[in-house]
Amino acid sequence: MRSFVLGLAVALVFTGTSVAQTTSRNTGTIKPTTKIQAKKPVVQKAAPRRSAQRPPQKAIPQKAVRAAGRYGGFNLSAPPPPPPVLDTTSPRTLSLVNANTGETLSVTYWSSGSYQRAALDKLNHFLRDWRENEQTEMDPLLFDVLWHTMNTAGFSGTVEVLSAFRSPTTNAWLASVSRGVASDSQHINGNAMDVVFPGVSAYQIRQAARSLNMGGVGFYPRSGFVHLDTGPVRYW
């Protein structure tokens, strides 16, 4: 009987130890068997930078190119200077030389507030069509345009006259041999002169004449002269 009790006691001791070990293992900290992976942040790729593009340049019209390059280069005509203060009281004297005949004339055509008839007659003869030996009544205002142009350009010397009055016959012949001569030229009406100021560039003469705003001004730098007339205000 004692042996039975001792065996039972030993069995109970082993059973308690086993239960205690089991309980201890079951109540321990449980480590997770799977790892929780953190989500990687989504990085948005920046859009590729586009190379800067120059705005398309407007093409220069061929007509403008031809007009700009007609007299050398592509520099367009500069705007005229501001209107000058005109001398309206001093006597007006012109000294001229005819580049075709070699004739010279120096005459005061305006003084004491009026044109001088005798001086105008001399100018009409001097500015005649030397080819046909014909003359006309020149527009007195043309002499004012020339005189004021000289003063504005600072020129006080002798003006070379290349062309003044042209008879219809002479003008028609010139128009047939030169594209620069208009069939209805102001020269026919006695309203125009082609002039040179020795020592003064054609550009300076053109700018001075344009500033007057008193008529047409033609610019011929290759030939070195300027056309002046009392027709409508226009430039070429």
* Helix and strand totals (H; E) in the chain: 6, 8
Q: Is the pLDDT of residue 135 over 50?
A: yes
Residue 146 near residue 196 (C-beta atoms within 8 A): no
Q: What is the mean pLDDT of residues 69-92?
A: 68
Question: How far is Cα 167 from Cα 133, in angstroms, rounded to an integer?
Answer: 9
Read off the pLDDT of each residue in 160-187 and give the average, rounded to a whole number: 88
CA separation for the pair 169, 130 (Å, rounded): 12
pLDDT at 50: 54
- Contact by Cβ (8 Å): 102, 88: no
Residue 77 has a pLDDT of: 54
Average pLDDT (109-130) is: 97
Question: What whole-number distance in Å separates Cα of residue 199 and Cα of residue 164?
Answer: 21
Contact 110, 91 (CB under 8 A): yes
pLDDT mean across residues, the chain: 79
The residues, any chain, with a CB within 8 Å of residue 196's CB and separated by 6 or more, are 99, 159, 160, 162, 202, 224, 225, 226
pLDDT, tens digit (0-9, with 9 covering 90-100), for 2-17: 555 455 555 554 455 4
So what CATH class is 90-172+186-235?
A: alpha beta
Q: pLDDT for 30-68, tens place per residue?
A: 444 444 455 555 555 555 555 445 555 555 454 444 443
Judged by DSSP in three states, 194 sits in strand
What is the per-residue pLDDT for 40? 54
What is the structure's pLDDT at 78?
60
Higher pLDDT, 129 or 68: 129
Task: Tokens 């790892």: give the residue.
Answer: 35
Residue 18 has pLDDT above 80, yes or no: no
70 CB contacts (<8 Å, ≥6 apart)? Answer: none
Categorise residue 199: left if φ over 0, alpha if ψ from -120 to 50, beta otherwise.
Answer: left
Q: Say what the pLDDT of residue 67 is.
A: 40
Q: What is the DSSP string of 110-131?
A: EETTEE-HHHHHHHHHHTSBTT
Least confident of 19-23, 42-46, 199-203: 19-23
Strand, helix or coil for residue 79:
coil
Provide CB contacts within 8 A for 63, sequence distance 6+.
none
Q: Give residue 167's pLDDT.
A: 94
CB count in 10 Å sphere of residue 192: 27
Distance CA 71, CA 92 (A): 34
